[in-house]
Amino acid sequence: MCHIESAFLLLDPMPDTPVSARDVRVDAWRVEGPWSEQTLTWLRQPPLSRPHSRGIARSGPPAVLRIDVTELARAARTGTRRYFGIALRSSDTGAVGARFSTGIAGGHAPRLELYYR
């Protein structure tokens, strides 16, 4: 059986994003329960739990956001619990912040890099 050595979630900046000198913390969490895009709102979100990891988003100059999600990937691989995905949250309320592509409105979709041993 392969062992996950490391895993990274990569998000590309949106084109033409306003530049900000302020860094933004972005947290990655394991989604604890089922969810659907039809019922997902700011008020109705699935519960989140550990493991958890953090990345730093920079919009000036725009750069790829790379979050170490090794523990999240290992938890998904163990199969002890059902896997419902990874959620990203930012607590920053700045006017500009940082914007990243989801692939829906252009740009690249987020990517997961896995390194096995």
pLDDT tens digits, residue range 80-111? 667 788 888 886 665 566 778 888 877 788 99
Q: Does residue 22 belong to any structural domain of this protein? A: yes
Q: Would you state the pLDDT for residue 76? A: 81
Instruction: Look at residue 112 and tell me if it is in a domain.
Output: no
Answer yes or no: is 107 within a domain. no
For residue 37, tell me if it sits in a domain. yes
User: Is residue 33, in this structure, part of any structural domain at all?
Assistant: yes
pLDDT at 92: 61
Closest by CA to 25, choosing from 109, 73, 113, 89, is 89
By the 10 Å C-beta count (0-12 exposed, 13-18 middle, 19+ buried), 57 is classed as: buried
The answer to whether 27 and 54 are in contact (CB under 8 A) is yes
User: In this predicted model, which residue has the larger pLDDT, 117 or 68?
Assistant: 68
Q: Could you report how far apart the first and last alpha carbons of the chain are, in Å?
A: 9
pLDDT at 15 > cutoff 70: yes
| 2 φ/ψ sector (left φ>0, alpha ψ -120 to 50, else beta) | beta
Q: pLDDT per residue over 17-54, tens digit each?
A: 777 777 788 889 888 888 778 887 778 888 888 888 98
For residues 65 and 88, the answer to whether their CB atoms sit within 8 Å is: no
Task: Give me the number of domains the chain comprises.
Answer: 1
- Which structural domain, as residue segments, surrounds residue 37? 4-102
**Residue 117 belongs to some domain of the structure:** no
**Best CA proximity match to 53, nearest among 63, 64, 65:** 65
- Kindly indicate the confidence band of residue 59, based on its pLDDT and cuts at 50, 70 and 90: low
